[in-house]
Structures are given as structure tokens and as C-alpha cells.
């Protein structure tokens, strides 16, 4: 089958990422699923910041902060975009071509070892699970264009084979599990105010906020984490920091962007909450640097105390938002 493209007019070499992925950000990347959706919405010309109210629900899960994601129901309400699981029974590229022909983006869990955009971190170095959004597929020439992290990229040849894995040789008994795959159906955006829907969603998410301050819970748990970190190699720091401080900081920087957008749409009284959300974003980044130094020295005793301003900032954010909404 010849090449198929879902969203037309996108060039991996000329693609302009969304501002929330800009280099001036404290956390230019968040996590693979959220980053992918930010760029998909960007490519569609939709207001990314309107979608970020779900960030108020982030909790501390004992060993990590919530790996936050766009709730599918929010995308339906805001833009009539629905996400469905794609059942696989044939080759992944066959199903992908079918959905692309129908005007649907395909989201696939893949091995970052084969993604050129991860050059210097994963590409050709280490294997890891991540999600991409396939927009263009050319199986004959073994080429693909895809959304991943903070942009839109291309791969081909051996990387194409690595992602889709050619058929095993005759007589081989080796098998591989199907990856988890979703497809995205684009409907007609509701003919109502995105601002009003966004506010309603924020109110709904506020009702689902954690019962206790998750940053305070993290602070109390950290001495146990420090004991675990002290016996681990420096490489472990990156995994730990990604799932704790990066998820915390990135989440609240996105919340700050959401509140700033609401202010631009005419909402008043959100300036203090926006400032405090940025305080958490900046503070988490500072803590990540401090944690790296502590890992090198095996000295963690002062880190829990440095989290106090973040605990206070969290309470201040929700004092404003709960009173306002």
C-alpha cells in the first residue's frame, strides 16, 4: 500500500513546536503522553492551554507523583476528539494504514531505542517504552512521520524496521507481544465557548483534588526515599527524579499556563495562584539540581526542609482556586 497521511501539510523539518515546549520553560518537556498531545493539538491549531485544568488533580502516590495525562473525556468536551483503543490482530502497520486512511491519528507504544529524536538519550543506547503519534506512514519506502515529546519527526529504514519488526524468518518460534495502540477520531468542535467548557472542567477537576497536600506527603516520605537513594548508582537518580520532581514541577508549570490563559480570556483573581504554581515549577527544578548533588555526596539530610516553600505554595494555590470556583 502507498504512503498515507492523516493531518496534511506537516513537515518534520519545518515544524514549529508549541510555546509550552519552548526553551525558556523550566520544564520544556513533561512526559511522553502529555507532550505528544500538546503537539497534536498545536498541529490542529487548537488552544492547548485550555485543556490543562486536569493538572489540579495530581497526587503523591507514595513512590512517585501522578504520571499526569489528558483525560480523554476532556478532549471530547472541548474539541470533540475521542481516543479509542485499537485492537490488533494483524501487523501493526496494517492497522495503522487503515486508520490513517480514515483520517485518524494512531498512537503506539514503541521502543525509544529506534526514535532518532531521542539522540543522545535513548536512540541506539537504551531501550525504553514511550508513545508516539503516527501521522504519515510509507511502508514501501519504510518511512514514518510521528509526534513525540516536544515535536514532529521522521524516521526510516532500520529504525522503521525496529519500530514495526519485520516478520521472523520461516520456522522461527519467536513471538512478540502486540504493543498498546490507540486511534484518535476527530469530530466537529462543539459550537460553544472553549473558555466556558474549560472553566467547567476546572471546577470538576477541583472536586477531585487530593484530600491532603501531596507535596507535604512527599516531604514526609522523602527521608525513606533518601535511604533508598543512598545505596543506588547515579544512573538511578534520573529515573527517580523523572517520576518525582519532574512530574511535580512540569505539572504545575502547565497549571500556571492554564491559569494564565484563563486570565487572558477575562477571568480575574487568578494572579496569585498562577504565581504560586510557578513557584512549585521553579522550586522542583531547583530541588532536582540539589538532589543530584546530594546523590554524588550521599548526603540527603537537608533536602526535606527545602521543600517547605513548595508545601506552602500548594496550599496557597488551592486556597485561591477553591474560593474562586
12 within domain boundaries: yes
Same domain membership, residue 122 and residue 240: no
Same domain membership, residue 227 and residue 160: no
158 within domain boundaries: yes
Rounded CA separation 234/217 (Å): 25
Number of C-beta neighbours around residue 293 at 10 A = 10
Same domain membership, residue 147 and residue 93: yes
CATH number of the CATH domain containing 114:
3.90.70
Same domain membership, residue 299 and residue 249: yes
Same domain membership, residue 217 and residue 147: no
Same domain membership, residue 239 and residue 161: no
Buried b (16+ CB within 10 A) or exposed e, 113-127: bbbebbeeebbeeee
pLDDT at 36: 96
Contact 82, 187 (CB under 8 A): yes
Number of C-beta neighbours around residue 205 at 10 A = 19
Same domain membership, residue 259 and residue 117: no
Name the grid cell of 119.
539522540
Same domain membership, residue 259 and residue 174: no
Please identify every stretch of the chain with a pLDDT value under 70, giving residue numbers as ranges: 1, 166-176, 190-191
CA atoms within 13 A on the CB side of 70: 27
- Reference 47, options 196, 160, 176; nearest CA is 196
pLDDT at 227: 83
95 within domain boundaries: yes
Helix residue spans in 108-246 (DSSP H): 158-164, 194-206, 214-229, 234-241
Could you list the residue range(s) of the whole structural domain that residue 253 is in?
212-324
* Domain stop point among 152, 186, 220: 186
Same domain membership, residue 120 and residue 10: yes
Tally of domains in the chain: 2
Same domain membership, residue 144 and residue 10: yes
Contact 174, 168 (CB under 8 A): yes
Same domain membership, residue 15 and residue 109: yes
pLDDT at 150: 95
Same domain membership, residue 112 and residue 244: no
Amino acid at each position: 500500500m502507498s504512503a498515507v497521511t492523516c493531518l496534511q501539510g506537516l513537515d518534520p523539518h519545518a515544524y514549529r513546536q508549541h510555546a509550552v515546549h519552548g526553551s525558556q520553560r523550566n520544564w520544556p518537556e513533561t512526559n511522553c503522553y502529555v507532550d505528544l498531545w500538546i503537539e497534536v493539538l498545536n498541529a490542529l491549531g487548537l488552544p492547548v492551554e485550555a485543556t490543562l485544568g486536569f493538572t489540579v488533580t495530581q497526587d503523591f502516590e507514595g513512590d512517585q507523583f501522578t504520571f499526569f495525562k489528558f483525560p480523554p473525556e476532556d478532549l471530547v468536551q472541548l474539541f470533540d476528539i475521542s481516543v479509542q483503543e485499537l485492537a490488533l490482530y494483524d501487523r501493526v502497520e496494517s492497522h495503522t494504514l487503515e486508520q490513517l486512511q480514515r483520517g485518524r491519528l494512531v498512537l503506539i507504544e514503541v521502543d525509544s531505542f529506534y526514535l532518532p529524536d531521542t539522540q543522545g538519550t535513548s536512540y541506539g543506547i537504551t531501550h525504553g517504552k514511550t508513545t508516539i503519534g503516527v501521522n504519515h506512514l510509507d511502508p514501501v519506502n519504510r518511512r514514518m512521520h510521528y509526534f513525540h515529546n516536544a515535536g514532529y519527526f521522521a524516521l526510516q529504514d532500520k529504525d522503521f524496521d525496529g519500530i514495526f519488526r519485520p516478520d521472523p524468518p520461516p520456522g522461527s518460534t519467536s513471538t512478540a507481544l502486540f504493543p498498546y495502540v490507540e486511534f484518535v477520531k476527530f469530530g466537529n468542535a462543539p459550537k460553544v465557548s472553549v473558555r466556558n467548557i474549560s472553566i467547567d472542567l476546572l471546577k470538576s477537576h477541583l472536586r477531585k483534588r487530593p484530600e491532603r497536600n501531596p507535596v507535604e506527603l512527599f516531604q514526609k516520605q522523602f527521608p525513606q526515599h533518601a535511604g533508598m537513594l543512598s545505596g543506588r548508582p547515579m544512573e538511578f537518580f534520573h529515573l527517580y527524579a523523572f517520576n518525582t520532581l519532574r512530574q511535580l514541577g512540569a505539572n504545575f508549570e502547565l497549571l500556571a499556563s492554564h491559569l494564565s490563559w484563563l486570565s487572558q480570556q477575562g477571568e480575574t483573581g487568578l494572579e496569585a495562584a498562577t504565581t504560586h504554581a510557578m513557584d512549585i515549577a521553579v522550586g522542583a527544578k531547583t530541588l532536582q539540581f540539589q538532589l543530584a548533588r546530594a546523590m554524588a555526596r550521599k548526603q540527603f539530610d537537608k533536602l526535606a526542609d527545602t521543600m517547605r516553600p513548595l508545601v506552602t505554595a500548594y496550599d496557597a494555590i488551592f486556597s485561591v482556586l477553591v474560593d474562586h470556583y
